[in-house]
Structure formats: C-alpha cells, structure tokens
C-alpha cells in the first residue's frame, strides 16, 4: 500500500498529514515556530524554520503511523502565500522572508500600478497591487536593501523553499504563483509584460506548473533528514487556500468555503475567469487544472480572537489551564452569554490593516458602541461577530459577481466552535456544513500528490474519495434578521473612520 503525505507550511506551524490510498487520514503531526515583527507593520520569518519543522512533522507522522519511508508514494506541498524567499546563487537565504501579512510596501504598490497601469494589471494578473503580494516585496528590496537585492538569484514562495530543500528543484504551482502579481492568470504562465514593466528578469522566478504535476523527487540528502525514500515524487501542490479548497471538496461550481484561521477566507470555485472590476477580491488559478477561484481575505479574522485571548483574556486563560481545556473554549462559553448583536456593540477586525474589500494597510481595529452595560462576554461576542461581518463583505462581492453559491463549508479553527458556526450561518443567512476531516491544506496537498502519482485520475475524483460532510448548522431566522440590520451599520463604519485611521497611522 502506497501512502501519501501532504505538507502545509503555515504562518505559525508546519503540518504533515499521512493518508492511505482511500483518502483516509492515518496520522498527522506539526511543529511550531515564531513570527518576527522587527518594526510596526512588518512580519518576517526565517525559512530554515520551515525546513526544520517539515523534517520534524514528516518524521512524526511516519512514527505515529508505524510505517517506513519507502511506503510513501508521493508528497504534496501547500503553504502560506505571497511570502518572498530571497536566495543567492548558492541557495543561501539573503534575508528573512517577508510574509503575506507584512504591510511595508504601500509605496511599491503605487509604483506597480503606475508602471503597469491598474486596468492592465487587473486584466493580466486579475488583481490590484496589494501590500501582501510578492512583487511589491521584490521592489521594496531593490529600493531599500540594494546590496541584498544584488545578491538575489531566485525568489521563491514559502512552500517552494521546502520543495527546493527536498528536491533541489526551483518550481511553484499556478495557484500559489497567482499571488505574486507576476502571473498572467488567464493564461496560467508568468507575465513577460509585467516583468518587463517592472524591470525584473524572469530568471528570478521558478518553473510554474499545474498543481498535480510532479516537480521533482526527494534527494538522498533530504531523504536522510525526512525519513523518506530517495526518489519519492513531489508534486506542485498549491497555495494554502487552493490546497484547502481541494481538501474541502471545493472543486466544482456552487461550492464555497468559509475559513477562519489567523486570516479569514471566503473561497469560490469557478470554471471561468471572473474578475471584480474594482479589484476587491482575488481571482487566482485554482489547484484544479483548467479552473480558477475567486477569494476574499480578512487579514485578522481568527487573529482578532487570538489578540483578544492574548491581551485581554488572562482570566480565561488561567481558567482554561485550571480545567485542562483550550482557552478559546472558555472564551466562547463566556461569549455565548451575550445575545446575538452584543447589545449594539460592533467590532472592526482591522488589527493588521485590511485586504478585502478595503485594501487598506492603515485600517485599524475598534469596538464601536461601548456602553457601561457591556461586559467581557459582549466584547468577545462582538469580536466573533465583527470578524464574521468582515467575511460577509467577501461573500457579498462574490455573489454580486454572479458566482452561484449552493453550499458553504465552514473550515479552519472557527469551524471547531459551535458558537462561531452558528454566527456564520446567521450572518450568511444560509446553512453551513463541516466535514469529517477538517485538515484543509495538508489534506489537499496529499490528494494532489495522489493525482500526480496516479492514485486518482482527477482532482474531483480524489475529493469524492476523501471528502465527507459531518455537521450542518442551520440559520436562526430571528438572528438572520438582526444580523442583517447590524451588517448595514457595520459597513458604514469603515468609510466614516477611514480618515481617522490614516491620521492615527501617521502618528
């Protein structure tokens, strides 16, 4: 029996997942690492952390499953998108990777839209220039650290640095490459026009392939580290959201996932290229060959509740430690005591700026409507509701583009909370389902490895084998009505506060 491994290079941890040829999860393991924030708005990571964590997690699943490395028939990679790994000619890291949620590149985004033209950029890359994307980071390095830029021979995305360490090959896939702003998304290849207009050489970029395509094989040196057999094939894989879509069965029209992790994502499959003329949502290549997806991103969805836990919920953390449970369980137990709508308290989750729909690195978080009656339960409930309202912004844009929605799959950390599932159902006004295996990107990467190595013929066939519904949460009608009114107020707050946010950011 040939097993498959999916490796997800995340922002806070790398996870490995082992599945059997029937798509059943056999074992999983992960290893954590920190994010560095050397200046306000900056977010960086040392790429070597990912490799060390990949080695630990792969060895962990092999040990847990009790199998030998030569029983693994293929490996798929998923990972955080947009990060820029700068390598010299000897594949040494030139500087720490600038991550997806880094906000330093506002000037470079303006430069890109000037050089390429906003309309032309939307036509080719299907996205505006945003601070999180890779191309602005390359221009930032050129403008601000020219000596380092002069040493750069290759620019890789995070998961593709792990691929390089595994196989010695420079490669990426079309879904992850879509987030660089350097890909011709309709044509699924690097854009010579954008590269020319930005004075960047295509030799900086890796080979770009479809997600199930084999990109290389595990080298003898990497095999010794990982515990795998030399020659094990490694497929293209996908950006974390596209891979998560595969892991959640979002590979056909009408299916959407709503993922709440550190960030929040609303992701819709599309058989055609749909682009928002205002550039408020992303249009990327899907990990399904010949398909695309439309995606809205909230930078601090679950991240807002994480901030609340770390900064304001010391009592709940202590209670969780005493009870031997997760602090989030204690927080949501408290939050559910507040009524839907938090008695008129709204929260804006713009703690690290915002992407969809505002594309504003200077947006700031806020509670609005505080009164002496509000308690910690209201504060926590408002954070959950505010993050979900931000997700609805993306949902409204996607449905407004004529993309059908027949099923919403809740995934990520937010899907583990019964309260957050109910809030999503009530805010969206339709049922949300969860799946038996809530593994997301790592499962998707493993399924892509199965397609690439012939276990399944197509990506949808792999999903039919592995993806099954577990729970269904239906909306409560009175809550839907209440949230619809509150959402109207919520969407009025950013325009009213935008100038204030920008003034505060300048202080």
Question: Which residues are catalytically annotated?
Answer: 240
Q: In the Cβ-directed half-sphere of 501, how many Cα atoms lie within 13 Å?
A: 21
Beta carbons within 8 Å of 183's beta carbon, 6+ residues apart = 125, 174, 177, 189, 190, 191, 208, 285
CA–CA distances in Å: residue 459 to residues 34, 186, 377, 436: 33, 20, 43, 19
CB 252 within 8 A of CB 466: no
Radius of gyration of the chain, Cα coordinates, nearest whole angstrom: 22
Whole-number Å distance between alpha carbons of 459 and 294: 18
Residue keyed to tokens 């084999």 = 214
Q: In three state form, how does the secondary structure of 313-345 look?
A: CHHHHHHHHHHCCCHHHHHHHHHCCCCCCCCCC
Whole-number Å distance between alpha carbons of 426 and 424: 5
Whole-number Å distance between alpha carbons of 394 and 42: 25
| Structure tokens, 170 | 């420079």
Q: Which helix (H) or strand (E) holds 29?
A: strand 25-32
């Amino acid at each position: 029996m040939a097993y498959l491994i999916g490796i997800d290079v995340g922002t806070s941890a790398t996870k490995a997942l082992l599945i059997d040829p029937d798509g059943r999860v056999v074992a999983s393991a992960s290893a954590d690492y920190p994010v560095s924030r050397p200046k306000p708005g900056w977010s960086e990571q040392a790429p070597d952390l990912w490799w060390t964590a990949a080695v630990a997690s792969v060895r962990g699943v092999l040990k847990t499953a009790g199998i030998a490395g030569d029983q693994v028939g293929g490996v798929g990679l998923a990972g955080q998108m947009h990060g820029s790994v700068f390598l010299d000619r000897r594949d040494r890291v030139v500087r720490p990777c600038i991550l997806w949620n880094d906000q330093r590149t506002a000037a470079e985004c303006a430069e890109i839209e000037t050089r390429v033209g906003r309309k032309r950029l939307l036509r080719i890359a299907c996205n505006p220039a945003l601070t999180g994307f890779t191309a602005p980071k390359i221009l930032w390095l050129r403008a601000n650290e020219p000596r380092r830029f002069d040493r750069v021979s290759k620019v890789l995305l995070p998961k593709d640095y792990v691929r390089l360490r595994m196989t010695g090959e420079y490669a990426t896939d079309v879904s992850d490459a879509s987030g660089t702003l350097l890909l011709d998304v309709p044509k699924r290849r690097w854009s010579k026009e954008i590269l020319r207009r930005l004075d960047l050489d295509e030799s900086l970029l890796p080979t770009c392939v479809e997600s199930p395509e084999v990109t290389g094989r595990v080298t003898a040196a990497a095999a010794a580290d990982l515990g795998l057999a030399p020659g094990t094939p490694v497929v293209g894989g996908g950006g974390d959201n596209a891979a998560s879509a595969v892991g959640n069965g979002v590979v056909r029209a009408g299916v959407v996932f709503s993922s709440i992790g550190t960030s929040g994502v609303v992701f819709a499959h599309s058989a055609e290229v749909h682009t928002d003329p205002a550039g408020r949502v992303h249009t990327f290549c899907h990990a399904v060959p010949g398909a695309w997806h439309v995606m809205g991103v909230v930078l601090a969805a679950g991240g807002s509740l994480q901030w609340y836990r770390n900064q304001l919920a010391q009592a709940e953390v202590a209670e969780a430690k005493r009870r031997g449970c997760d602090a989030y369980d204690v927080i949501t137990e408290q939050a559910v005591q507040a009524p839907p709508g938090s008695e008129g308290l709204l929260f804006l989750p713009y703690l690290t700026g915002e992407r969809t729909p505002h594309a504003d690195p200077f947006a700031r978080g806020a509670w609005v409507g505080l009164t002496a009656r509000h308690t910690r339960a209201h504060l926590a409930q408002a954070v959950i509701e505010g993050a979900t309202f931000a997700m609805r912004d993306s949902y409204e844009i996607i449905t407004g583009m004529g993309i059908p929605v027949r099923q919403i799959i809740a995934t990520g950390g937010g899907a583990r909370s019964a309260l957050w599932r109910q809030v999503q159902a009530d805010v969206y006004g339709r049922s949300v389902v969860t799946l038996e295996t809530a593994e997301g990107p790592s499962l998707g990467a493993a399924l892509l490895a199965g397609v690439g190595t012939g276990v399944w013929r197509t990506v949808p066939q792999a999903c039919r084998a592995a993806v099954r519904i577990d729970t269904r949460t239906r909306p409560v009608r009175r809550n839907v009505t209440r949230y619809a009114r509150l959402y109207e107020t919520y969407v009025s707050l950013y325009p009213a506060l935008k100038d204030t946010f920008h003034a505060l950011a300048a202080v």
